Structure 1
Amino acid sequence: MQLSEQEIISAIRQGDERIFEATFRKYYQSLCNYANSILKEMDEAEEVVQNLFLSIWEKRTDLEISVSLKSYLYRAVHNHCLNRIKHLKIREEYQQYATNFYDSSYESVSQTVMKNELEQKIEEAIRKLPEQCRLIFRMSRFDELKYHEIAKQLELSPKTIENQIGKALKFLRIELAEYLPLIIICGTTLQIVQ
């Protein structure tokens, strides 16, 4: 039996994992291709789409879609891509600014202390994650493995990997909230918590 879009949205809102997964599978590849046409980087595109679906699932009880589901998903991917481009541009401008005003081979004592403190706080926060979540997060952020590579190594589904990364990021953002200005200044560790 075919469900109408409103029935699909309603089912997702009520937490129907089967309908959500079917929706994910139906739109995932075409949304990745669309995001890639904007970002020109398939890994980035996949991450944008995965984060979108993760966000939809996390906020499913408040899900309100007044247009078609397909239109909603494409518009959301479009907006996420533009935000990603803007974010990368800001980071690039800051790095260029920092390079122009600081000798890259020189690092002041206070910068070293701040950076070391930040790295220590990040490591402490990561250690607070549940064991499997911590392992998956480290494989993603430190070993730079893709979700499907992690899933294959740990014999888990890519969806489980995606959920674990989402949980880890949510936890770390909360845990490291007071260090956000320092994370932005240090820049290098920024990619760990995004």
Structure 2
Amino acid sequence: MQEYYYCYNNEVELLQALKSGDGTAVKAVFSKYFRPLCQYAEKLTGRLESAEDIVADTFVKLWHRREQFESLENVRHFLYRVARNAALNELRNEGRHQATHTELGNLYQEAHFSAEDLEEEEIRAELLAEIYQEVENLPDKCREIFKLLFFNGLSTEEVSIQLGIMPQTVRNQKSRAIQLLRAQLLKKGHLLAAWSLLFLLPHS
């Protein structure tokens, strides 16, 4: 959990501080949700820069409506709903990669989740944020190979050729990275992220 959360004894105290406009409370909510929201918005728009702009604007809206929330769960749902709507509006207004109206309509329709689907997307985004944060703490070679496999979508053979190493070395580093990630996630209490590590990541 982000350091700002340690300033509060419980979520009720944090919520009250947020509603009163306390700067540390705002930082606490921002630090918890900014990265997951960016990943969520990027999934919809396909562009990280647009996603970051959307999320920044989402937090501005949160600030203006901070006094209206009854729980942190309400805050969470508000953030994802606003980010989702903004991302979909951007797709409708600008189009994506010169998409036709039909293609864009299909994309928009696919992105309209039910309440249950939206809840799953929120959880998935937050779990991925926990995993991605730990990826940055991997040893250099592990991190490089892991990103090429899971983030860039390269195959074991392609990574082997690109880095000039044996395919078995790639597989060994991949296994080591997964073991290290799972150990770190468990150590920090992220049990669900550790358990679902391979299910959440793109397949390599």
TM-score, normalisation: structure 2: 0.38
